[in-house]
Amino acid sequence: MTYMINRLAPFVVILLSVFVLAGCSGIFGGTPREQADEAISEANKSISEHNKLFDKARSTYAEVKQKIESGDDPSKEKDNITEAKNDLEKARKKLQDARGTLGTVQDLDVDPSIKKYASLLSKAMDAQLAAEAKEIEFYGILEGDPALKNNREKAMNLLSDVGAGYQKAEKTYGEAQKVANAHPKLIESANKAQKGS
């Protein structure tokens, strides 16, 4: 039986908390606080799309892994591996979009805690983007060697880097959440804000 490398459990970026505002905002118009809120809202849309594509890529990989481990011909799984890689590349693009949108908050005249929150989220996204790039590289290896007969060590090293990257992202997301929790009058949870909409 051929065994593929076991993967770490998927880590998907959390939806960002939003800034508490009294009124509605236009597309990046209005006061700096309204602009910051709109940036978070746009980033959340991209993150939601990222998460769907990320989950799809991981599901496809899990199916491929199961088939190979049950004895199926690894070479027959190349198209599915390519599909997982392509989905992860699309997911990564959505996270890059979210990162770019969130970056606009640093230039706004808003409370320093909001800037700190946005900065930590940006750092977490950078770590996750780096991990996803390594995971895409892993899928690239699988495309050429689905059973990892010739590239197992390189693949294991990549997965180690991927795991470390996701752990770094998770830690930084946690730090951002602490900032949000410490400033509930400025930053509210995405779930609470969505219920109020």
Output the tens digit of pLDDT for each of the chain's 197 residues: 333 333 333 344 555 555 443 333 344 458 888 888 888 888 888 988 999 999 999 999 888 888 888 888 888 889 999 999 999 999 999 999 999 998 998 898 988 988 898 899 999 999 999 999 999 999 999 999 888 889 989 999 998 999 999 999 999 999 988 988 888 777 765 434 434 44
Distances 178 to 20, 116, 169, 181 between C-alpha atoms, Å: 16, 11, 14, 5
- Residue 16 included in any domain: no
Q: Is the pTM of this model over 0.75?
A: yes
Domain of residue 137, CATH code: 1.20.58
Please tell me the distance from the alpha carbon of residue 86 to that of residue 94, in angstroms, as a whole number: 13
- Residue 9 included in any domain: no
- Residue 178 included in any domain: yes
- Residue 93 included in any domain: yes
Into how many domains does the chain fold?
1
